[in-house]
Amino acid sequence: MTAVVCRRCGATNRVDLEKAEKGLQPVCGRCKAVLTTTSDVLEVNEARFDEQVLGSPLPVLLDVWATWCAPCRGMAPVIEELASSLAGRLRVAKLDVDQNPAAAARLRIQGVPTLILFREGREVTRMIGARAKGDILAALADLV
């Protein structure tokens, strides 16, 4: 079993990957939308943060979030859409603050959700709080 966030409503669903691999389509328990078990979003952790984010040849939009945060869950579909639409120009990654407290402290995270854009290993911009896709794209327009 694995947890899959619904792109439509942001609900977290438990999905049996063996059944999904056999062709059965998992659906969201809340809104009944078809769930995708693959993602363009990279899950990062403390151990590989430097390699995956700071060492990336592409700019990285890091979504710092927490499972208990309703605005974070609400932004999940937007983050997935950004990862798909900007693939090849931008890497989108997620960092769970509860599972990676040292990385969150290193980044001086004071609230979630927080979006941080890194380019060539340096922080370029930071957005705190839930944002609409258009707002995020506008903030990234000159930077990516």
Assess contact for 28 and 37: CB atoms under 8 A. Answer: no
9 counts as catalytic: no
Rounded to an integer, what distance in angstroms lies between the CA atom of residue 81 and that of residue 32?
19
- The catalytically annotated residue of 9, 28, 31, 72 is 72
The strand pairing partners of 15, in sequence order, are: 2
Q: Which amino acid is at 140?
A: L
Q: 39 is written with which tokens? A: 């993602």
72 counts as catalytic: yes
Assess contact for 93 and 55: CB atoms under 8 A. Answer: no
Handedness of CA 1, 44, 64, 92 (dihedral sign): negative
Assess contact for 77 and 136: CB atoms under 8 A. Answer: no
* Catalytic center residues: 69, 72
